[in-house]
Amino acid sequence: MSEVVIEVGQRPIREVNEEIQEACKVGRKIRIVNSLSRHNLGVGLPPGAELHFEGSTGYYCGALNTGATLTIERNAGWAVGEGMSDGMITIGGYAGMSAGAAMMGGTIHVKGDTGPRCGVAMKGGNIIVEGKIGYQSGFMAHSGKIIALGGAGDSCADALWQGEVWVTGDVDSVGVDVKIVEPTSEEVAEVDALLDPLGLKDTSRDWRKMISGQRLWYFESRDANAWLMI
């Protein structure tokens, strides 16, 4: 079935998203043009949908994705893919703050850097960043993996629960209650299996795997100085 082209411009976002959902129902590939970095585009997309955004998008693009494949040619604003449960989102440039916030499944692939708190409170899925992840990325991640190929900013992996942050490259500083461990060969193979389809596998990498030190799992108020850094 032929591709459908949907223009955003200054049209009401509700109208644009309704048009996207109608195209999804009939299984058409969708090209979004003149997006103007507008917010809330492509929210709540169904499984099997395919969208290509020319240019950049604003906040919450691809949020609540349930299995669609999205490609954003340039940059994405805050919280791209927030709360997604499945699917694939590829960002050709920079992803703003809180990329993949509270996501539960699927994969987000960022070809550039990310802003602060990438993967904050994520519950599953994978975030693969070719560049550097920003300040406090992985904050309170409950599950899933953040894989950064270009280093990490300050307070990396702060207050992790059962999520994992994998970094190759320089790390400005680690956050509170972070434990850096040597990954097993089996664990490295799992990460390589995620990177391989993206053309990013490199067996020569020196990984830092960050997990929770588990002190905050049993936090008591008398321990506040240890994690508030006061």
* Rounded distance between C-alpha atoms, residue 211 and residue 199, angstroms: 26
Number of separate helices (H) and strands (E) present in the chain: 3, 11
Percent of the chain with pLDDT over 90: 91
What is the pLDDT, as a whole number, of residue 163? Answer: 97
pTM: 0.95
Scanning the chain, the segments in alpha helix (DSSP H) are: 13-25, 185-195, 224-228
The structure tokens listed for 194 are: 């995620």
Whether the per-residue pLDDT at 118 is higher than 50: the answer is yes
CA distances from 133 to 31, 86, 203 (A): 28, 22, 21
State the average pLDDT over residues 169-181. 96
Alpha carbon of residue 9 to chain centroid: 26
Whether the per-residue pLDDT at 230 is higher than 50: the answer is no
Superfamily designation of domain 4-228 = Glutamate synthase, alpha subunit, C-terminal domain (2.160.20.60)
Q: Where are the domains of the chain?
A: 4-228
Tell me: the pLDDT tens digits for 13-64? 999 999 999 999 999 899 999 999 999 999 999 999 999 999 999 999 999 9
